[in-house]
Amino acid sequence: MPAAPTPPLVLTFAPSDPSAGGGIQADLLTCASMGCHALTVLTGYTVQDSAGLEDGEAVAPEWIDDQARSLLEDMPVRAFKIGGLFSAEAVSAVAEILADYSAVPVVLHLGADPPDADDAETEDSAEEIMAATIELLVPQATLVVADSLRLEQLVADGLLDLDSADETAAQALLRRGAAWVLATGLHQPGDIVVNTLRGGGDNAAEPAGEYRWPRLPGNFRGAGPTLSAALAALLASGMDVRDATAEAQEYTWQALASGFQPGMGRLLPDRFFWAKQGEQAAAGDEAAPDSTEEPTP
């Protein structure tokens, strides 16, 4: 019997998240739900639960490089998804890999939660990682995904320079080389979440797309990782950025709307919400009376 067709392959760089709210686990679930097969490069180990991230331990950059190149030399990857990285050296290692496979689209997620830390050394390390990400990964990104408040914080921290008073942080990322930027409004106030897409050769002063979603009740973990992994899966399937952006947002909103609370912390997205909807529909069909027969009184 001949082998079945291979689904589109997505190579994701991310840490382990034991709660599956984000990280490698979230990417696996999302890519599988979107009809893709996820190949994984572990960038770190974390201690976290449904409430949030407590601590993390980096994987050595040479191990990140070895994991990725072993997979890339064996299988035809159709998209990269970049999540949390724990050192500037790891950022550099990933950047070299992307440069060697420059024809493969890249989704870069800047929204990973940093560990809670009060010491200056940890804060300096986080800033060093972000500075390296902006310098080395943003110019190679097909699409950067980041929460708008996080982008504003990058400007406030001096990690992202604005060219003028009218320039937005998303426009600054485009100027640094990103092809597209999707700024999400999950943490902005209001009953409507507004996500804004910029780039694609359009006038950077004007959004290429603006998407409005009813705000869902509850406090969620994993919205950004789900959205960025869905985008990578759709790009791997051959969809263009505009169409992928619209469809990935629809998928993410539905996953959040079906979210569940497995522990004492935040809600997690149900990445296989459609399977439950199908089961419910099938159960409804079985319960419905046959229209060709008279119902029993």
Looking at the DSSP bridge assignments, the partners of residue 55 are 47
- Residue 86 CA, distance from chain mean position: 17
Q: What is the DSSP string of 235-265?
A: HHTT--HHHHHHHHHHHHHHHHHT-B--SSS
For residue 47, give its domain range: 9-287
Residue 204, CB-side half-sphere exposure with 13 Å CA sphere: 17
| Continuous segment of H or E residues that includes residue 38 | strand 37-42
* Residue 294 within a domain: no
264: left (phi over 0), alpha (psi -120 to 50) or beta: alpha
Structure tokens at 216: 């869902």
The CA distance from 161 to 121, in Å, is: 23
pLDDT at residue 292, rounded to an integer: 38
Q: Are 212 and 175 in contact (CB under 8 A)?
A: no
* Residue 89 within a domain: yes
Pairing of strands 192-199, 209-214: antiparallel
* Residue 179 within a domain: yes
The CA distance from 254 to 44, in Å, is: 29
* Residue 293 within a domain: no
Q: From 48, 152, 149, 137, select the one nearest 90 (Cα to Cα).
A: 137
pLDDT at residue 291, rounded to an integer: 38
* Residue 295 within a domain: no
pLDDT at residue 285, rounded to an integer: 61
Q: What is the DSSP string of 13-24?
A: EE---TTSSSHH
* Residue 292 within a domain: no
The CA distance from 81 to 14, in Å, is: 8
Prediction pTM value = 0.90
168: domain CATH number is 3.40.1190.20
The pLDDT profile of the chain, 297 residues, written as one tens digit per residue, is 778 899 999 999 999 999 999 999 999 999 999 999 999 999 999 999 988 888 889 999 999 999 999 999 999 999 999 999 999 999 999 999 999 999 999 999 997 444 444 555 566 688 999 999 999 999 999 999 999 999 999 999 999 999 888 899 999 999 999 999 999 998 888 999 999 999 977 566 678 899 999 999 999 999 999 999 999 999 999 999 999 999 999 999 999 999 999 999 999 999 999 998 766 666 666 555 453 333 333
Q: Are 119 and 156 in contact (CB under 8 A)?
A: no
Structure tokens at 176: 């640094």
What's the total number of domains in the chain?
1
* Residue 4 within a domain: no
First to last CA, the chain: 53
pLDDT at residue 293, rounded to an integer: 37
